[in-house]
Amino acid sequence: MAIPNHKVSNGGVSQKVLTLETMNSNIKKVEYAVRGPIVVRAGAIRKELEQGVKKPFTEVISANIGDAHAMGQAPITFLRQVVALCVYPELLKSTEFPDDAKQRARRILGGCGGGSIDTGAYSASQGVELIRNDVANYIEHRDGGLKADPNDIFLCTGASDGVVAMLKLLVSGEGKNRTGAMIPIPQYPLYSATLAELNSTMVPYYLDEDNNWSLDTAELQRALDEGKGACQPRVLCVINPGNPTGQVLSRQNVEEIIKFAKKNNLFLMADEVYQDNVYAEGCAFHSFKKVLHDLGPEYNTSVELASFHSISKGYMGECGFRGGYMETVNLDPKVKEQLRKLVSCRLCPPVTGQAALDIVVNPPKPGEPSYEQFTKEKNNVLGTLAEKAKLTANMFNSIPGVSCNTVQGAMYSFPRITIPDKAIEAAKAKGQTPDDFYAHQLLEETGICVVPGSGFGQRPGTYHFRMTILPPTEKMKSLFVLFRDFHKRFTDQYT
């Protein structure tokens, strides 16, 4: 295809080097629904409202993304205090900060290059050693005394950065020998987007919606067998607690997944960024590393695992700091050196994000001045989220034509909606999926912004959307009234 010419100031003609035809074709395959067209439209509507354009509503409710503080969640005081002290050490002279916050800041600063982060110094590519030690201690405490090696820990620009780095290491081969990655459906679109960028093959396995989005190893086997016809499945990705589905895996389920990975020689990637967000009675978070260890030498000396955590979720919600970590287990030492080389190309994660991560993995202890306030704030955030998780399922299930599983954990619901045939036809006429058509009309009529289920994947013939449970409780209640009335109008209009 010919590359279009364009005129330059000297009157001559030159050719653009970068066009849609000459660019990396894999990038054009990348889709990321969480910040897709409907979110762009929501931003445009917000500007229209600011300019005085009349709408059937007065505000856009951004229920599309897990951005806690943007939704009104209060930040954790101690975390912000310590980061502020680290960024501007002159504040250490102030009497307005508690002594333990100052001590923590001095300790972090002492571990940074140049003795401070306010100088703008890089850290080690793998992360500040002191903070990696604190992450190792956190994991040891979380997993009941199971040792963690700081050299196995890589601090990241959020968990996403670690996921991408590990997939880059795993993808290789050509044609049917190209690496395939088993991904849950519904999934967080970081995985499908990264695999598209790497020209790898996604091997989808379906979560069982009829059983609260549980993960069945028989379905894993079906997907694996089917995937072998197109690629070489080498990696199994699991999100626990689930995004967008909000399920929490039982310990038995985690054991079954690990055994499946060993049997089929798969590298395990455990996305555990919502490990603090568990709400439903009878549910608990079980780390893949701990369960792998407990299965004994047959498994814990051979199954390769990378697990991920982030400060963007949990009770912290510190999305903008971009802090997180990846821990590797049973990684080949020579591969680990290659991983170190890969992360070195990006120099280092944001040092402010590393400082914030240190507070998450090393919070105030009993007897310290900030302990009571920290504990109160943390419990308040998680308690409120638990209430809204229950409220969300109850409200959706009270609406005819809508069903929603129990939100056991994470920050989202993924309700299923019944869309009339005429609406499906109308969507096709507009070149949209039915759930995309539905979500756009919901936005235009109510100001509620959600993400269509097709952006995460869903069983053919079913329609969903993802909605965060983060908005304040009163706003959630008013949102459900708007949604209920819209769904009835939509159903009546197209029935």
pLDDT of residue 119: 45
The pTM score is: 0.87
Beta 61-62 vs 448-449: how paired, if at all? parallel
Same domain flag for 348 and 433: no
Domain membership of residue 5 (yes or no) is: no
Q: Calculate mean pLDDT across residues 445-458.
A: 90
Domain membership of residue 190 (yes or no) is: yes
Name the residue among 237, 35, 303, 284 with its Cα closest to residue 142.
Answer: 284
Domain membership of residue 44 (yes or no) is: yes
Is the pLDDT at 321 greater than 90? The verdict is: no
Is the pLDDT at 316 greater than 90? The verdict is: no
For the stretch 376-386, pLDDT in tens is: 999 999 999 99
For the stretch 71-107, pLDDT in tens is: 778 899 999 999 999 888 889 898 999 999 999 999 8
Domain membership of residue 234 (yes or no) is: yes
SS (H, E, C) the chain: CCCCEEECCCCCEEECCCCCCCCCCCHHHCCCHHHCHHHHHHHHHHHHHHCCCCCCCCCCEECCCCCCHHHCCCCCHHHHHHHHHHHCHHHHHCCCCCHHHHHHHHHHHHCCHHHCCCCCCCCCCCCCHHHHHHHHHHHHHHCCCCCCCHHHEEEECHHHHHHHHHHHHHCCCCHHHCEEEEEEECCCCHHHHHHHHCCCEEEEEECEHHHCCECCHHHHHHHHHHHCCCCEEEEEEEECCCCCCCCCCCHHHHHHHHHHHHHCCCEEEEECCCCCCECCCCCCCCCHHHHHHHCCHHHHCCCCEEEEEECCCCCCCCHHHCCEEEEEECCCHHHHHHHHHHHHCCCCCCHHHHHHHHHHHCCCCCCCCCHHHHHHHHHHHHHHHHHHHHHHHHHHHCCCCEECCCCCECCEECCEECCCHHHHHHHHHCCCCHHHHHHHHHHHHHCEECEEHHHCCCCCCCCEEEEECCCCHHHHHHHHHHHHHHHHHHHHHHC
Structural domain ending residue among the three candidates 361, 394, 412: 361
pLDDT of residue 6: 53
Domain membership of residue 104 (yes or no) is: no
Same domain flag for 397 and 357: no
Domain membership of residue 335 (yes or no) is: yes
Q: Calculate mean pLDDT across residues 127-150.
A: 92
Same domain flag for 170 and 253: yes
pLDDT of residue 417: 95
pLDDT of residue 350: 81
Average pLDDT, the chain: 88
pLDDT of residue 65: 76
Is the pLDDT at 122 greater than 70? The verdict is: no
CATH code of 487's domain: 3.90.1150.10
Is the pLDDT at 9 greater than 80? The verdict is: no
Domain membership of residue 397 (yes or no) is: yes
Same domain flag for 180 and 327: yes
- Cis? peptide before 349, omega within 30° of 0: no
Is the pLDDT at 32 greater than 70? The verdict is: no
Cβ-contact 207, 242 below 8 angstroms = yes
Residue appearing with tokens 């908005």 = 471
Same domain flag for 232 and 319: yes
Same domain flag for 59 and 172: no
Same domain flag for 391 and 487: yes
For the stretch 287-313, pLDDT in tens is: 999 999 999 999 999 999 999 999 988
| Cβ atoms within 10 Å, residue 78 | 24
Q: Calculate mean pLDDT across residues 36-48.
A: 85
Is the pLDDT at 1 greater than 50? The verdict is: no
pLDDT of residue 396: 94
pLDDT of residue 123: 64
Is the pLDDT at 181 greater than 90? The verdict is: yes
Is the pLDDT at 26 greater than 90? The verdict is: no
Same domain flag for 288 and 406: no
Structural domain ending residue among the three candidates 306, 332, 361: 361
Q: Calculate mean pLDDT across residues 406-430.
A: 93
For the stretch 186-242, pLDDT in tens is: 988 888 888 888 888 899 999 999 999 999 999 999 999 999 989 999 999 999 999
Same domain flag for 387 and 439: yes
pLDDT of residue 283: 94
Domain membership of residue 110 (yes or no) is: no
pLDDT of residue 116: 47
Give residue 135's identity as a one-letter amino acid code: V
Q: Calculate mean pLDDT across residues 380-396.
A: 93
pLDDT of residue 22: 66
Cβ-contact 452, 433 below 8 angstroms = yes
For the stretch 272-286, pLDDT in tens is: 999 999 999 999 999
Is the pLDDT at 268 greater than 90? The verdict is: yes
pLDDT of residue 165: 87
The domain in which residue 325 lies consists of 122-361
CATH code of 332's domain: 3.40.640.10
Q: How many domains does the chain have?
A: 2
